[in-house]
Amino acid sequence: MTDLALAKATASPARRFSPALPGIGLLLVVAYGILPLVANEYLFDAILTPFLALALAGLGLNILTGYAGQVSLGSSAFMAVGAYAAYNLALRLPGVPFMIDILLAGVVAAAVGLLFGLPSLRLRGFYLAVSTLAAQFFVQWVFNKVGWFSNNSPSGIVSVPTLSVVGITLDSSAGRYLFALTVVTAVTLAVWRLVESPTGRALVALRDHETAARVIGIPVLRVKLLAFAVSSFIIGVAGVLWAFAYLRTVEPAGFNLDRSFQILFIVIIGGLASLRGAFLGAALIVVFPLLLARLGEALLGGLFDSGVLEMSQRIVLGLLIVTFLITEPAGLTALLDRAWNRIAGRFRRTGLPITG
């Protein structure tokens, strides 16, 4: 077993799906300008806000797994660290603005990530993947057992304080959505800069061939730890959004192994080593259970109870993973790229101008 040669899955096509800047501008206009006007509470609370939090977590894991090639099965542990850190910062340092709390929570998650990233200096592949499970179980146990983190709440579940930024209270569904959107946008732009920078290239070099990367002078150990730290920072911030903007409570059980797998699935389905991938994957993961529930109800009616629903969700999710791995290892990103190229190609043939 050599390095995680995910190269095939991640070879990025020469032409991107959309001309980057106008596309992003358009998305932001829709997300900031149009959605808050047309969306209702259900759309915000059940779809958009969890989508944003999970997309951010996927983005964080993608840095580690997609770009740097280190598989982690413990992502939700770092979400938990971020969420509990932000809760405690808000509780114990009441004067500090929440934006600072978020950053600090990310830093705490990064520190924990660094600690659990240390084995990666010695371990590869499966052995590393299994060792990240240590983070998953240990962190969950700590938040269950140590009462201080949940302010001695007997159940370990705590409600978080209301979001407020520069004196504006963001209590409504739309407010929490806009808050999450702003954080996700800022982090995504920063990550975009990172992956296009020499450091980002170093991550990819590390993934494609560790020894070769070392030979051309990349400080492999430092870059690996950096990947763990940056990834955990982002996943930690995603955890803050999950707890503060989406659920409005923090509980250890919400950050279990299933959540970690879910984030991994987002990255696989969306596309490894692609920023869009995290968003596309998260969209699918959030929307498909809802669609499945509607569909099942329409087709089977009363037979389709919650137990059947849960099981069929598991089956469909598993089938999706397997199907994507077999037929489209580069994920939804590649599917969209291909579709776009086909459309663009048709325009070219008919002589219409192409933008971008």
List of residues contacting another protein (CB under 8 A): 1-2, 4-6, 8-9, 71, 119, 122-127, 129-131, 133-134, 137-138, 140-141, 144-146, 211-212, 257, 261, 264, 268, 307-308, 311-315, 317-322, 325-326, 329
The C-alpha atoms of residue 67 and residue 4 are separated, in whole angstroms, by 11
Reduce the DSSP state of residue 155 to 3 states and report it: coil
CB of 74 to another protein, least distance (A): 10
Shortest distance (Å) from residue 182 CB to another protein: 33
Question: Strand ranges (DSSP E) for 53-99?
Answer: none
Residue 157: what are its φ and ψ, rounded to 5°?
-95, 130
Of 74 and 106, nearer to another protein (C-beta) is: 74
Two structure tokens written together for 298 = 């329409």
Nearest CB to another protein, comparing residues 186 and 212: 212
Amino acid letter for position 123: L
Residue closer to another protein (CB basis): 91 or 320: 320
Shortest spacing between CB 119 and another protein, in angstroms: 6
Of 46 and 320, which CB lies nearer to another protein in the complex structure? 320
Q: How far is the CB of 197 from another protein (least distance, A)?
A: 26
CB of 237 to another protein, least distance (A): 25
Tally Cβ neighbours within 10 Å of residue 20: 12
Token duo for residue 189: 């732009």
What is the token pair recorded at 247?
């659920």
| Cβ nearer to another protein, comparing 1 with 352 | 1
Count of CA atoms in the C-beta half-sphere (13 A) of 231: 35
* Dihedral of alpha carbons 293, 275, 66, 87, sign: negative
- Between 9 and 55, name the residue whose CB sits nearer to another protein: 9
303 CB contacts (<8 Å, ≥6 apart)? none
* Strand 249-250 relative to strand 158-159, pairing: antiparallel
Q: 43 or 134: whose CB is closer to another protein? A: 134
Q: Report the distance separating Cα 147 and Cα 80, nearest Å.
A: 15
Closer to another protein by Cβ: residue 65 or 188: 65
Q: How far is the CB of 120 from another protein (least distance, A)?
A: 11
Least separation, in Å, of the C-beta of 130 and another protein? 5
Smallest gap from Cβ 40 to another protein, in A, equals 32
Dist. CA 213–CA 199, nearest whole Å: 12
The separation between the first and the last C-alpha atoms of the chain, rounded to the nearest angstrom, is 41
**CA geometry: angle at 203 spanning 201 and 208, to 5°?**
95
